[in-house]
Amino acid sequence: MSQLFDNEPKGSVPDHDVMMRGRRLLDITGVKQVESFDNEEFLLETTMGFLSIKGQNLQMKNLDVDKGIVSIKGKVYDLIYLDEHSGEKAKGFFGKLFK
């Protein structure tokens, strides 16, 4: 186990952080579940709500479900949290997603 998660009880999901390098590489912690993904959009459930990542040529570089870590590479255009604070936007997004 890496030092970053040494204080976490085994099996728990760590705090949520998003680290971006040059708009081309994203490391995201605190991921509970990958809801969907393709080369233009990822939808992740994190400990701080749903996170939509939009871009071009997006690929999952790394997935560690036990630690709640996802790494994505590609050109990132947009990071949007879909939660109760943006109810209209979330409703519209999920409405389009599940039509």
Identify the CATH number of the domain in which residue 19 sits. 2.60.40.2000
The domain in which residue 12 lies consists of 3-97
pLDDT (tens digit per residue) in 19-76 = 999 999 999 999 999 999 999 999 999 999 999 999 999 999 999 989 999 999 999 9
Give the count of domains, the chain. Answer: 1
Helices (H), 1-99: 87-97
Contacts of 86 (CB under 8 A, 6+ apart): none
Q: What per-residue confidence (pLDDT) applies to 26?
A: 97
Q: What per-residue confidence (pLDDT) applies to 2?
A: 40
Strand boundaries in 9-48, DSSP class E: 17-21, 25-29, 31-37, 41-46
What pTM value is reported for the model?
0.72
Mean pLDDT value of segment 9-27: 83
Q: What per-residue confidence (pLDDT) applies to 3?
A: 40
